[in-house]
Amino acid sequence: MLLSRSRQLLLDTNAFIYFLDGEEPYFEVLLSVFRRVQAGDLSLIVSVITEAELLIRPERDDNEVAKERIGDLLSEDGIYVVGVDRRIARRAAALRGRTRLKLADAIIVATALETGCEAIVGNDGEWARKQIDIPFVRMDDLVAR
C-alpha cells in the first residue's frame, strides 16, 4: 500500500476533518498516519489553504477550543504548513488551466508537487478523476466499508 512506503505526504482538508472529528471508518487509518509522523517515519505537508479551510467553522462558531486544537495539531513535529509562494502560484495556475480544478484545490495540489510529496491523501472524487501529476490516495479506497 502506498501509505506504508511514503516518506512525505500531503493530507487534504477532508482527511484532517475526519481525524479531528474522529470520523469512522477513516479515523483509524489516519491515526496510524499520525503515529508514523510522531515516530519520525513520515512528514506531512499541509497547504495554508487547508489551514484556512479547517478554521472556517470554528471561526463562524467562535469556537476557541476548536481553533486551538487545529493550531496545536498543525504545530506538531513532522507537520509542515506551507504558504503560497510564486512557484506554487504558477504551478496552481497551470493545473487549473489544464484540469479546471477549483483554485483552492489547484493550490493544494501544487503545494504537494512543489514540496516533493510522494502522494496526496484525501477523499475528493474529482481529484481522483483528473490528471494531477501526483498519486492521489482516496480514503474510501483505504477503508473497508
Question: In this predicted model, what pLDDT tens digit does every residue of 111-133 receive, in sequence order?
Answer: 999 999 999 999 987 777 787 88
Handedness of CA 110, 75, 23, 139 (dihedral sign): positive
**DSSP strand pairing (119-122 vs 43-47):** unpaired
Domain 2-140 has CATH 3.40.50.1010: yes
Cα–Cα distance between 116 and 5 in angstroms, integer? 15
Q: pLDDT tens digits for 54-102?
A: 999 999 999 999 999 999 999 999 999 999 999 999 999 999 999 999 9
Cell (9 digits) for 40: 519520525
Would the pLDDT of 36 be above 90? yes
Going across the sheet that includes 119-122, the strands are 79-82, 43-47, 8-11, 119-122, 136-138
Handedness of CA 126, 130, 134, 137 (dihedral sign): positive
- pTM of the predicted model, to two decimals? 0.90
At residue 8 the predicted structure's pLDDT band, cuts being 50, 70 and 90, is very high
Cell (9 digits) for 51: 489551514
Q: Could you give the count of Cα atoms lying within 13 Å of 2 in the half-sphere of its Cβ?
A: 16
Would the pLDDT of 144 be above 70? no
pLDDT for the residue 60: 97
pLDDT for the residue 15: 97
